[in-house]
Amino acid sequence: MFRTAWTLTHLRGIPLRLHVSLLLVVPFIATSVAARDLPFLLYRLGVDPTALTLPPLALGLAVALALFAGVLLHELGHAFTALRFGARVRAITLMVLGGVTEIDHPDATARQRFWTALNGPLVSFAVGAAALGLSRIPGLPLDVVVVALIVGLLNLVIAVFNLLPAFPLDGGRVVGAVLERWLSPDRAVDVVAGLGRVVAIGLVVWGVAVHGLMLVLIGAFVFFGAGAERRARRQRLSVEGVTARQAMVARVATVPPDLRVAG
């Protein structure tokens, strides 16, 4: 799926890959944390910045790396759940907007899709809670406390954001699986795709209002992703249960081998 990605290792047979865009977003997050989030947090804590041991940029880099470690755990939550349900996981790729787990499970039930989608955000909630708990341990160096606080809060944000009812976010898949209890799969996809476009427009408007480029980019990603997910899901539904015998051309026209191509 992602050609410009490097395979780092395999875990339970799943290739773990890094997309080239990660080389851009890690420095961006590191500098953003150092210039904005870290000073704000220290101000809120009433701590003098000179009490830090490491320079702000080093702490920003630590946050960025820990954040993507949390994203990897989030994706592993999806992957391991899918494996438990008998699916094939082609790869996990970390990229600019987070992570993508490529799962092949065309026969998945609504219940299986529900838990496969939900377990990613649940892992992020657990990582966020663990990081915030770590930050409250007495006697830890201030640098560790600050990094743990930021990483914990960001993981909670990731969990909540991913539960928005929009494709291709996890929340869209969760809501779609729930709606299939009352609606046809086709209709459930249409409803979630419509919700996704509303969410996407809201993110873009919010991003423009607060001059947040990342929010605008994420909103655009969700908007176009909702349409792409709807088309892909409908395509899968259109061939569901169709056999090769039904799809193949039974009568094939033949010509003699000595027939000239050009008259």
Most confident of 36-40, 74-78, 252-256, 258-262: 74-78
What is the per-residue burial (b if ≥16 Cβ within 10 Å, else e) of 137-153? eeeeebeebbbbbbbbb
Q: Provide the residue count of the chain.
A: 263
Tell me: cis bond preceding 168? Omega within 30 of 0 counts. yes
Half-sphere exposure of 132 (CA within 13 A, CB side): 12
- Residue 55 has what pLDDT? 87
CB 168 within 8 A of CB 231: no
What is the per-residue burial (b if ≥16 Cβ within 10 Å, else e) of 219-244? bebbbebbeebbeebeeeeeeeeeee
pTM score, whole prediction: 0.80
Question: In whole angstroms, how far apart are CA 92 and each of 8, 15, 70, 84, 127?
Answer: 11, 6, 13, 16, 19
- Residue 164 has what pLDDT? 87
More confident residue, 101 or 186: 101
Structure tokens at 93: 């790729």
Structure tokens at 250: 């039974």
Strand pairing class (88-95; 98-104): antiparallel
